[in-house]
Structure formats: structure tokens, C-alpha cells
Amino acid sequence: MLIEGKFTMRAPIQKLWNFLLEPGTLASCIPGAEKVETVDDKTYECVVKQSVGPISVRFKFNVELKEVDPPRYVKAVGRGEDIGKMGTFTCDAIVRLNEISDEEVEVSYQTNVNIVGRLATFGERIMRAKAKSVGEEFTKNLQKRLKGEMA
Amino acid sequence: MICDFEYFSPKTLKEALGLLDQYKGDYKIIAGGQSLLIMMRQGLIKPRYLIDIKGLSELDYIKSDPQKGLRIGSLITHRAIEKSPVIKESFGILSEMEHKLASIQTRNWGSIGGNLCHGDPAGDPAPVLITLNGTLTLTSLKGERRILVEDFFLDYFETALEPGEMLTEIQIPPLPPHTGVAYTKFNVIENDMAIVGVGVSITLASINGHCKEVRIALANASPRPMRAKQAEEILRGKKITDDLLSQAGEIASQEADPISDIHASEEYRRELLKVLVRRVGEEALLRAKKS
Amino acid sequence: MRKELRLIVNGQPYELYVKPKSLLVEVLRNELGLTGTKRGCESSSCGICTVILNGMAVKSCSILALQADGAEITTVEGLAKGGKLHPLQKAFLDYGAYQCGFCTPGMLASAKAFLDENPRPTEIEIREAINGNICRCTGYNSIVRAIKAVADGEYKEEK
Amino acid sequence: MNRKYSVIGKSHIRVDGYAKVTGQAKYTFDMVLPNMLYGKILRSPHPHARILNIDTSRAERKIGVKAVVTGKDTLGRKNGAWRRFPELCDEEILCREKVRYIGDPVAAVAAIDEEIAEEALDLIEVEYEILPAVFDPLEAMKEGAPKIHDHAERNINVTRRIEWGDVSEAFKDCDYVIEDQFHTSSQAHLCMETHCAVAHFGYDGKLTVWTSTQSNYYIQVLLADMLGLREGDVRVIKPPTGGGFGSKFELDSAQFCAALLSQKLRQPVKIVLTREEEFIATKRKTPMYYYVKVGAKKDGTLLAKEVRVVTEGGAYTAMGATALYLTGFYSSLPYRWPNYRYDGYRVYTNTAPTSALRGFGAPQAYFAGESMIDMLAEAMKMDPLDLRRKNAITPNYEVPGQAYIQSCGLKECYDAIEKHIKERGKLPPNRGIGIGNYGFMSGGIFNWFNTPYAFSAAMVKINIDGKVDLFTGACDTGQGSDTTLAMICAEELGVHLEDIRVHAEDTDLGPADLGSWGSRETLMNGNAVKMAAADAKRQLLEFACAKMKPNVVYDLDIKDHKIYMVDRPERYVSYFEIVQEAIRAKEGQTIIGRGHYTPHRKGMVSPAFGFGVQAVEVEVDPETGKVKLIEIVTAHDCGQVINSVAVIGQVEGATMLAAGGGFCEDQPIDNGKILNPSIGDYKVLRSLDMPKTVGIEVDTYEPEGPFGAKEAGEGLTSPTAGAMANAVYRAVGVRIKDLPITPEKVLRALKEKEKLKEKK
């Protein structure tokens, strides 16, 4: 399932890039992130808790920065599973920075999330609903953090 | 596969509330279980304590009073509502809605309270109760509180029930004169879960008068059963015309926040809402004029 | 911890001890050996496990056995009495209202509960009554005809 | 035609009926054996990954777990039904190195109960290296796409060409030429009994498997091969089968894993797939991309058709190779195309393998083909029924190089449907009737399975009391073949249906038969049964002749338990008497008749074809796009009807399945994952959705079939989706070329049409 969107930031592209690439920036914006630990400069380990009504899951996964093309493009790949074995989780995220002017950058992202297992069987409808709200919150968090950082 | 749990089947409401209080946080209440057991079988919910209230005869009643309106115990089954002569007579829309809710098997065992507490935004009873301006009684050891049905739903499968609380009664005020109510859900196969659903109630000032009050409720059009208040606004106080209903449809469609899933895209859901709000509005209007 | 469960199934009283998480269908099939009742899904959607509980058609896969404590249950094995087939069974045979037969026990349970409640139904009412039961073979129309034939008095109960 | 039969041509209660309506029928699903264990299968969560390591130790240590097997416990052989072509046997069932779709089995557990087995699955740790995956066949064909099997360049699994005449030249001579593209969706079989098996490998080295199957012979051969056993050491027993529809004639993971676990433990092991597994990890209908070009002369003569098809193969070949061939062949039916060319490509993708589903490539072909015929008729301003009738196959037609068609009742079918449409008169707004027609095989001639046996065989044994045991390998999956065959046997032998006991469930007892697929049982097994019954009858008549001493000009025959002189029926002796005398005279041996059937000199496809024309009436809500099915009328030609009630059941059942495929059934896939693996999300028609159906049987006689009978099984699923698309077009003027015809697609098309109008 594809979650995508874009927004613009008032900041120099290099500054934005440096911040984005700091380990944990992206992961810590994921709603429900409980833990983000750096494994090496390209890999970190996250635990994210999510719930829909009475169902709650805790995904433990590794994020690896697969392709990095500074200061414009980064592709991260996440793999993991629910601690309670309710599902396996894979995710490819691409973030692109596009300079509109010296002081303005368009941030676009594209995340392809895939969850297989009991969770997915329960209802694609609900998964999607959740993904939508998680996606929106993620953007909000990212914008907030960037704004805070760039201010 | 269902996890092991400790099972209680209290015989009185008081006993049940005591158990809720005792096991706060770790229990699930099962009534008919028609939704809960699906989730438990998938291993998605693993309660330590299961409190079975299906046997609480205290909550199994339908009471109707011309002044006070309708009171339904939360354990009343869908089928009992569907078949109740009192409800058919005074709140026909409830029977109509129940008649198309899932299968007879599910209606025979599933309860209205369980359906509401499950909090599925695609459920049929919630939007109908919202259009009827229904309220709910939530009971705990501490006492009772009342909440509007429209305020009960917080998010996907999340309701305003606090730990220790149980839904005990649904109240519907008497319909004002010249009121018509209608509900329709759209699905590809019959009696299926709503792709979207629309309920409308219209109260006219007089038989051919202006719209005194209107309520529009949408199913599966946002993370929770929702009221389309802006759409209502366009109708309230005016003489309802086809054109006005179309406008209400347009607005409701914008107010809604539906998702795309395998059954329909967001765009299509919005299209459907436009059409259904108008059609259901027309039906409600017709009924208001006849009542 | 197992709990006591009393059931009357096809007229026979039973006293059992079951795990609270046991579903009614599991008790019927595994404990009582009444394998006529089948299971077809995990989402309460196919109706194959339908049995009659206190006169109502219910999905036995969506009821905890303990919730049926004290209930009277009829399964497909209880339709024929005294060696004589129930009219619905005879009609199903004549009208070819089954093929692979896997949905048939549930279908018969839905049909019986329905006719007991509404002996003179319209065709659309019959369709509503079995709408919760999936049949992948027949296309339903022969089942509707069979039920209609019974309602129309084409088959008499043999004593 | 004036043919007097005493058993066939009427309605009979099926031989399995009493057990089924009383709940006494015991399915594999119901079986419990002493000391039996329960198995569960661990499946890949990734669409494409290399297996680096599987650690089963924690699962093995779990109390109650008796064994865990992985690919390492297998002989490493690859399974496939196309045994003549080793590269097409490409499915390990328990993967050793790579998984190729979400649901590919990687391990299996046997435990004392299902719950422990399931919990043990969570304890197996599989280390995967995730590989790039590809899901769409058009993408998978491109250079540089992830390679799914080493042997398949550009992931092309099979290609087929069928050609006659000169298509390119012929298009030049056409007055009208149109071309277009279509896509057909996947569909789940949704057998109510999920795939299941109970396997018991004894200490004597012999394996018995009870399983829900459409072909116990195939399972026997394939299991023997995969486990390295002799065929004779594998006994497959088929209890009543809870539906097949094309999903149960290949070796499946339940059968293989149960057998493998039992081989290890020497204890019976039962595996029942969950409904979710059934959706994601059993075979499914083949989605196809269709390109079609057709051309005709002004007078309505169809001259040329060109078809190119790419099918989504999924991870393995399965029976999909057959679907690729058949869809190409059916694309030429039921018209007399003088020039025809088909190019088909089956492409591997990282999705669940696709295969046969009732219709076996035909519904896809007719959806595209019949839509095109209506589109062509419109371009030519011709009545679509007239265009069809003018070009339809007539009896004794040869499809160039492919098939010899003897009986064909299409003309009568057109007449019946035309009458029906006229009777409907002018329809209200937003209603439309669309038609579609079809031809379908009565069993396939191809032998890629490489059986040395006859395609069908039967043995008839007459006992001292006149009762008859009929042994066959036919597989009744609910369609009623046991009854049909018993009726054929009774008719030929001159006895009553009640005299026949059918033994069709056991490879130890019955002769090999390819099984119940391709609508083959009535014609192929029916011929074998008829021959066996005739053989037994001839033996009886020898004794009757000795007793009755007729003049040589008199023929003897048997009817209604009487052995009589054909032209002097008042002279007869009792069948029972002759049976007793014959057995005594044969030193006490029962009378045994043998029969077999393999088609010869009947072309490449099938020895006979069923035909039909269908009219689908719909009503479209132009504001929501919702299509309501009003009525489906089918005129069809299945030759001589054997059991009327069964034929009606086939018409209605096929219509339901096909209408579901046209209307709502779909298996959307995202990153290789089937998004609706539950009956709640996978929508099928239910009783309220099922429209009125009318079946009109056209009377023909098929010389190749038993008593003139041919198929009435799968062909009936062929015309519906195309007829629906045509009906929607007639109702509201939009053409949907992508199945299923959902309200959303119809509404989108209506809006686009409106926009176009505005532009003009």
C-alpha cells in the first residue's frame, strides 16, 4: 500500500539533507516509535507500537539506508515483524528533496508499506485506514521536527 | 486461534460491573460475540478475562412510551429489533435497517449493544441512531452517564467507553410530528457491509412546510460514524427542493473523510455520498410528508 | 480450566466439560461426533456451520459453547426422525438442491428454522433466509425451489 | 429425436444424495483416525526471497510437536502435471532455496493437535534474503526484470501459437477491422471444503491418503514421484469432495506435507488448509491480458481474427500451461474463421500460481471475443445475434488442424434466445440484454501428464443377485458424475439405477482415470462405463441366447430386468435368472465387463464440444454504476441429457460462478499480496444476488458420446461475463473491458462518456 505526499520547507537544501540523514530523524517521526537505535551509520533498529481500537501491535524492524544520493534522494528499506507474530512488515521509503529556490525545498516522499500475516487478513480496509492516518501523522511530525530544526 | 482466557458469566448487572471493575484493562466483554470472536480467532485480541454478558436478562428489553420515546436494552438482538411490533410501528427505520444487517444467523445472536461497542465505522445501527438523535447509557460501578450516539465513536474501533464501563441502554426520543427517516447503504452484493451508508431524518414545520430540523449521518465515510453537519445546515430552515438536496449531497461528500480500499476508492465513495444523500433525503422528505 | 456445559442436542441431553474458548461447532463436531455440521471460514461469513439454537438459525463457529449452556440445538443429524426424512431433506433430494453437499447441513438448518417461523414465505423471503449461507455449486435457485416446494405443501412430514 | 431410454434423460435422486442431506456423508474434513496427528504449514511472507537458513529446533522442542519437515527432508524433486515437459515441473512444494510467492510453503509441523501445531509455526525461524520481485506479467517480460526461475528467460514460462490461413493478408480484404484490449481478473475457487488430506504411511512402507480431490489418480502418481515410491504403494482414497472447480486436481501442499510428515512418523497426519491459506496459497484463475483484432466483409462474413494473450502465471506452471493453450483455441470458437492466429505467453510472476478454474481459459476468451463481436456488429450496423448466427459453427465442421466438431446445436440455441429477446419486448430505460455464446470441450485429448493408461476406464461386475458393482476412477466433486455414470451403466445393462453400486473413490479398486476436469467425465468415463456394461451384457446374452434359442435374425437386449428379443419384446427371460445361470456356468465367477476410452483421430483438443448461447439482462443505475442482474437465459446443447436435475444444477451453478466473476469476484494484489483473503472481503453472489435463471436444452446427438451425451459442466461458465459486458453497453452505452464489471468502473466510464459528449 502506497503512502505518498509532499510539502515545502523554508530551509537551505543542504541543511535539510543533513538533518534528514541523521540517524533516527525519519524513524523518530513514525507515530508510535518507542525506540530508535543506531546499529551503524546506515542501519538502525526501531520498535514501533500501533493500535487500532483493541488491537495493538509492536513492530520490531531494521531500517537500512539503501541508496543515498546527497542532497536529493534517499531510499530506505525497512524489514521486521510484530513481536506477537501477528504480521511481517516490509517497507520501502523514498524521500526526495527538490530545490524550488535557495531558501525553499520541496520534500516529497513515497512509502510502500506491506504487511503480511494475521493482521492483514483481518481487514485490508482497516489496515488502509490506519495507514492513511499514520501517513498523515508522520508528515505532520516530520514537518514539525524540520521546522523546529530549521528555525 | 483463540487464546486461553478466564471466563465469567455474571447473572446480574451488578455482578458484571463488579467484574469489570476488578479486571480493568485486561477484560473484554462478550455479548453476541459476532464481531469479537472473529478478531479473537485471528489472535488479534487476547483478553485475559472474558466477561460474558449475553445472559443478563436485565438488559434484554424494548420499552416504548409515546412521551419518553424508545428504550432498548443493550443486549437486545438485531433480530428482536427487526421483528418487534412496537419498533416497526414507531421507529420503522430501525426494523428496516436491521433487516438488511448481515445474515439472519448474525442478527439472531448479535446484539445492538455489541455492534455499537465494536465501533466499526461501517456498521449500520450507528448512523440510524444518530439520525434519530439517540443517546446511550454507559454504566459502571460509579454510576451512569449519558452520551449522544454521535459522540460515542472516537476513531476506528474506538469508543468513549471507559475501563469499567458498559453500554446498558439505548434511548431514542419520540419523533416530532412530520418527521421522516430513511437509511440506505450501498453495496455490490446484497445485505453486505456498507461501502458507504447514509441516514437522513427530516422534520418539517408542517406537511408542506420548511425543514425545521434535519440530521444526516454517514456510515463508512470517515474513521467513525459521522454527522454531516454542514450538509444539514444547507437544508435547515429551508423549503427542501431537489436542488437543495443535491447541494447537501455535494457538501456531505466534501465533509466526509473516506478511505480507498479494495471495495471502493475514496473518489468513488464521495460520488456515492453525493447520490445517496440526495436519494435518502428525498425518501426521508417523502416520509415526513406522509407521517 | 474446563467448565460445565449442558446442552440438549437433537433431543439428547448432554453434560460436558469444555474449555471456555471452545466454539459451539467444535463441541458439536469434536466432542459429540456430530460431524454433519461443517466449518468453512474463519470470518463468520459462509454460514456452513449453521445450526438451530432454541429455534433460531445461528452460526456455531461464532458462538462460544458456554454461551449455549442450557440451549436446545438441532443439527442436520436431528432433522430426520424415526428413520423418516424431514420434508426439506426430501425436497432437497428431488430438486437437486445440493451438489458437493458441504454447505447442505447449514443450508438445511437455515431453511428449517426459517420455515418453522414463516411457513408460507414468498420467494424473496426464502432468499433472505439463506442469504447468509454460501453455496458454491448450485447457484441457489434449486435450493429456493426446494424450500418453496416444502412451504407449498408438496411434502408431508411422515409420522 | 426419438430415442427411448428407460433410465437416462430423466431426473434421478443422486446416488450420494441420502448421505449428503442427512449429514452422514463423511468428508476428508471430518476424518479422524486412531493416533492421528495434525499438521500445519509455514508459508513465506515474502513474494521473492532466498532461504538462508531455517531453524526448527525451538518448534521441535515444543511439547506436543512430533515432527517438523522442511525442503531438506524432501528428495528435492519438482512437481508438475505437465510431466512430458520436465522444465514445466517446477514446484518443490516445500521450498529448498527460494520462495517465489507469499504463501509458498517452507516448513510443516505435525503435533498432537491443531493448536500446538499452529503455535509451533511461530517458533520456526526462517532467515530470508529478500529478492526483488515482479508481479505484473507485462513487467516480468521486460529485460532486466527480476528472474523468478533460472531456466526462464524474461520469465517466459510457456508460449503457444495457433494459426491457420493468412491473417495479415485477410485483414486487407476486410471491409471492417477493429482491435482492442481487455483484461480479465483472478477468481478464487472457494470450494466450501478447503484443501485437506489425511495421510497414513504404514510400517509396511505403503502410503494411504484420503483427500478432497478431483483426480485421485493424479495425486497417486504425483505423490509417488515426489516421495520416491512406486505408484502401487500409494493408495489415494477420495471421500465425498466438498467442491473442486479446477482447484483440486494438482498435488497440493496439504497432501504433500501430510504424506511427508507421516512418512517420517509412520502415524496418520491430517492437514486442513485454513480459509486464508485457501485464498493465498492454492491455485487460482488465470488473469489475462487480451489483445484482439477482428475483421469482416460488408455482408457480415467474418474473415480474420488475431489474438495475443499474456497470462499472469504466478510462481509456478501448474495447469496454467493448459489454460494458455485452451484460451487460444477457444478464442476461435464458435465461429468459422477462415484465418486465425493466436500467440500466447504465460509469464512467471511473484504471485500465487494461476491455473484452472471452471472454464479453463474459456471465460477469458469469450469475454474478450464476445465483447468484440458486439463491437464489430455495432461498427457494421448489424444485429449482433445475426452476425453470430451467420458465422457460427455448424455440425460436422473442422476447426483447421485443431478439432472435428460433429454435433452442434448452435442454430437452435440462437433461435431460442432470439425468441426470448423478442418476448421481452422493449425494455425500460437503463436495462439491456446482452448475448454471448460459446463452445467447450468434452474432455481434453492432450496427454502432457504422460499417462500410459487409457484416459478413462471402467469395470462392471454383476453379482449373483443381479446387483452391479461399477468400478471407475471418475471423481464426483459434487457435479454428480457418480450418478451419471451409474445411469449410463444401468441404461446399457437394462437394469435399474438402484441395482448399481458405484465404487469411484479408491485407486486400489478402480482403474485409472484422469479425473474430473475439462468436462470430461460424462463423455470419456461415460464411454468407458458404457463399454464395460456392454461387455458384461454380451456375456449375459450368450447364456440367454443359449436358453432362448432365437433365430439368428433376432437380436437380444436387456431392459427393465428383462432379456428380450428386440423385435419380439413379448419373448423374454428374467435378467436375474440368466445372471444366476451364467455365474453357475462360469464355475462361480462373477460376470466382469471391462471398458476403456481414449479419443483417437479427433484432433488436438477434444472429441466433442458442447455449445450454448446466453442472454443476460441487466439494469444499471446510472448514478452509482451499480449493475443488477435481472435474468440469465441459457440455451445450450449438451447432447443427450443423462440426469436432467443434474444438468439444471450445472446450468445454474455455472451461471452463478461466472456471473460472480463478471460482477464482483476479484483478487486484487499489492506487492504480491492478495488483499482479500477472507470470505468477508472476497465477495461472491449469494441467494439474493442470484438472478432468475432459465435453461433451455437443445436436443442433439453426439455420435462420440455415450448415448449421444457431451459436456454440460464448464462450458456454461464461458459466455456470462461477455454477455454481461454487452448488456451493460446496451443499457447505458459504456463498454467495460476489464473484469469484474464493478459499479465503480461503470460509473467512471459513464462520467468519461459524459465528458466526451460535452467536448463535442
Mean pLDDT of D315-335: 96
The residue ranges of DSSP E strands in D263-338, in sequence order, are 269-272, 284-285, 288-296, 302-314
Best D670, D674, D678, D679 member to test A by mutation, with max A CBs in 10 Å, is: D670
Separation in Å, CA of B77 to nearest CA in chain C = 12
Q: With 80 as the cut, is the pLDDT of residue D183 above it?
A: yes
How far does Cα C80 stand from its chain's mean position? Answer: 12
Q: What pTM value is reported for the model?
A: 0.96
D663 touches chain B (CB under 8 A): yes
Best C100, C125, C144, C155 member to test D by mutation, with max D CBs in 10 Å, is: C100
Chain B environment of D684 (Cβ under 8 Å): 189
Chain D environment of C45 (Cβ under 8 Å): 678-680
Chain C environment of D649 (Cβ under 8 Å): 96, 99, 137-139, 142
Separation in Å, CA of B53 to nearest CA in chain C = 9
The residue ranges of DSSP E strands in D250-369, in sequence order, are 269-272, 284-285, 288-296, 302-314, 339-348, 354-355
Q: Could you count the other beta carbons within 10 Å of the beta carbon of residue D450? A: 11
Query: What is the chain B residue with the closest CA to A129?
Result: B259
Residues of B engaging D, defined by a Cβ cutoff of 8 Å: 1, 38, 186, 188-193, 262-265, 268, 271-272, 275
Q: Report the pLDDT value the prediction gives residue D255, as an integer from 0 to 100.
A: 98
Angstrom distances, CA of residue B286 to CA of B177, B181, B202, B240, D143: 14, 9, 9, 11, 63
Q: Is the peptide bond before D740 cis (omega within 30 degrees of 0)?
A: yes
Best A3, A50, A55 member to test B by mutation, with max B CBs in 10 Å, is: A55
Question: Out of B188, B190, B191, whose CB is closest to D742?
Answer: B188
Confidence class of residue D415 from pLDDT cuts 50, 70 and 90? very high
Contact map slice: D 29-58 vs B, CB within 8 A: none
Least confident of B7-16, D621-630, D668-677: D668-677
Confidence class of residue A123 from pLDDT cuts 50, 70 and 90? low
Q: What count of Cα atoms within 13 Å lies in the side-chain half-sphere of residue C50?
A: 33
- Could you list the pLDDT tens digit for every one of the 159 residues in chain C? 899 999 999 999 999 999 999 999 999 999 999 999 999 998 899 999 999 999 999 999 999 999 999 999 999 999 999 999 999 999 999 999 999 999 999 999 999 999 999 999 999 999 999 999 999 999 999 999 999 999 999 998 876
Q: Between chains, do D675 and B262 touch, taking CB under 8 Å as contact? A: yes
- Scan for cell 454487452, then name that residue: D726
Query: What is the chain B residue with the closest CA to A118?
Result: B42
| Residues 6 or more apart whose Cβ sits within 8 Å of residue A27 | A33, A36, A44, A46, A63
- Scan for cell 466433442, then name that residue: D608
Q: Report the pLDDT value the prediction gives residue D643, as an integer from 0 to 100.
A: 96
How far does Cα D462 stand from its chain's mean position? Answer: 33
**Percentage of residues of chain B with pLDDT beyond 90:** 93
Q: Between chains, do B41 and C42 touch, taking CB under 8 Å as contact? A: yes
| Residues 6 or more apart whose Cβ sits within 8 Å of residue A19 | A25, A146, A149, A150
Question: Out of B44, B119, B262, whose CB is closest to A119?
Answer: B44
Mean pLDDT of A14-24: 81
**Grid coordinates standing for D17?**
444424495
Identify residue D99 by its one-letter amino acid code.
V
Q: Report the pLDDT value the prediction gives residue A121, as an integer from 0 to 100.
A: 66
Best D687, D694, D720 member to test C by mutation, with max C CBs in 10 Å, is: D687
Would you state the torsion angle of the CA atoms of residues B257, B261, B266, B271, taken in this order, to the nearest 10 degrees? -110
Chain B environment of A118 (Cβ under 8 Å): 42-44
Q: Between chains, do C85 and D243 touch, taking CB under 8 Å as contact? A: no
Chain B environment of D688 (Cβ under 8 Å): 189-191
Q: Rounded CA gap, D702 and C126, in Å?
A: 39
Q: Between chains, do C138 and D649 touch, taking CB under 8 Å as contact? A: yes
Q: Report the pLDDT value the prediction gives residue D2, as an integer from 0 to 100.
A: 42
Query: What is the chain B residue with the closest CA to D624?
Result: B272
Mean pLDDT of D228-241: 97
| D69-99 pLDDT tens trace | 999 999 999 999 999 999 999 999 999 999 9
Chain D environment of C43 (Cβ under 8 Å): 275, 678-680
Separation in Å, CA of C82 to nearest CA in chain D = 13
D623 touches chain B (CB under 8 A): yes
Q: Greater confidence, A134 or B123?
A: B123
Q: Between chains, do A129 and B44 touch, taking CB under 8 Å as contact? A: no
Q: Is the peptide bond before D607 cis (omega within 30 degrees of 0)?
A: no
Confidence class of residue D239 from pLDDT cuts 50, 70 and 90? very high
Separation in Å, CA of D348 to nearest CA in chain A = 21
Q: Between chains, do B104 and C64 touch, taking CB under 8 Å as contact? A: no
Q: Report the pLDDT value the prediction gives residue A48, as an integer from 0 to 100.
A: 87
- C neighbours by CB contacts (3+ pairs under 8 Å): B, D
Mean pLDDT of D239-260: 97
Best B1, B106, B189 member to test D by mutation, with max D CBs in 10 Å, is: B189
| B131-146 pLDDT tens trace | 999 999 999 999 999 9
Strand partners, A106: A8, A98
Angstrom distances, CA of residue D527 to CA of A135, D121, D502: 64, 48, 16
Chain A environment of D46 (Cβ under 8 Å): 88, 90, 116
The helix (run of H) or strand (run of E) holding residue D121 is helix D114-121
Question: Out of D45, D130, D678, whose CB is closest to A121?
Answer: D678
Chain D environment of A120 (Cβ under 8 Å): 673, 677
Chain D environment of C99 (Cβ under 8 Å): 243, 478-480, 649, 653
C141 touches chain D (CB under 8 A): yes
Q: Between chains, do A116 and D45 touch, taking CB under 8 Å as contact? A: yes
C114 touches chain D (CB under 8 A): no
User: What 3 state SS string does D603-668 have?
Assistant: ECCCCCEEEEEEEEEEEECCCCCCEEEEEEEEEEECECCCEHHHHHHHHHHHHHHHHHHHHCCCCC
User: What 3 state SS string does A30-83 have?
Assistant: CCCEEEEEEEECCEEEEEEEEEECCEEEEEEEEEEEEEEECCCEEEEEEEEEEC
Q: With 80 as the cut, is the pLDDT of residue D686 above it?
A: yes
Q: Report the pLDDT value the prediction gives residue D1, as an integer from 0 to 100.
A: 41
**Grid coordinates standing for D174?**
476486410
Mean pLDDT of D570-590: 95
Asked whether D626 and D430 are in contact (CB, 8 A), the reply is no
Q: With 90 as the cut, is the pLDDT of residue B90 above it?
A: yes
| B27-56 pLDDT tens trace | 999 999 999 999 999 888 999 999 999 999
Provide, for chain C, the percentages of residues in helix, strand and coil under a 3-state DSSP scheme, each rounded to the nearest 5: 35, 20, 45
Q: With 70 as the cut, is the pLDDT of residue B286 above it?
A: yes
Q: Between chains, do D681 and A124 touch, taking CB under 8 Å as contact? A: yes
Q: Rounded CA gap, B224 and B170, in Å?
A: 18
Complex ipTM? 0.95
A/B interface, count of CB pairs below 8 Å: 46
Q: Could you count the other beta carbons within 10 Å of the beta carbon of residue B14? A: 12
Least confident of C72-81, D533-542, D598-607: D598-607
Q: Rounded CA gap, C56 and C58, in Å?
A: 6
Mean pLDDT of D102-127: 97
Residues of B engaging A, defined by a Cβ cutoff of 8 Å: 28, 38-39, 42-45, 119, 122, 155-158, 223, 259-263
Question: Out of C94, C108, C128, whose CB is closest to D13?
Answer: C94
Strand partners, D527: none
Mean pLDDT of B110-125: 96
Separation in Å, CA of A77 to nearest CA in chain B = 24
Confidence class of residue D507 from pLDDT cuts 50, 70 and 90? very high
How would you classify residue C133: left for phi > 0, otherwise alpha for psi between -120 and 50, otherwise beta? beta
Q: Between chains, do C102 and D14 touch, taking CB under 8 Å as contact? A: no
Q: Greater confidence, A60 or C96?
A: C96
Q: What count of Cα atoms within 13 Å lies in the side-chain half-sphere of residue B6?
A: 8
- A neighbours by CB contacts (3+ pairs under 8 Å): B, D
Q: Is the peptide bond before D334 cis (omega within 30 degrees of 0)?
A: yes
Least confident of A72-76, A144-148, B198-202, C130-134: A144-148
Q: Rounded CA gap, A11 and A65, in Å?
A: 23
Asked whether D484 and D516 are in contact (CB, 8 A), the reply is no
Q: Between chains, do C21 and B106 touch, taking CB under 8 Å as contact? A: no
Q: Report the pLDDT value the prediction gives residue A147, as an integer from 0 to 100.
A: 79
Query: What is the chain A residue with the closest CA to D670?
Result: A1
- Scan for cell 472457494, then name that residue: D190
Mean pLDDT of D633-651: 96
Mean pLDDT of B174-179: 96
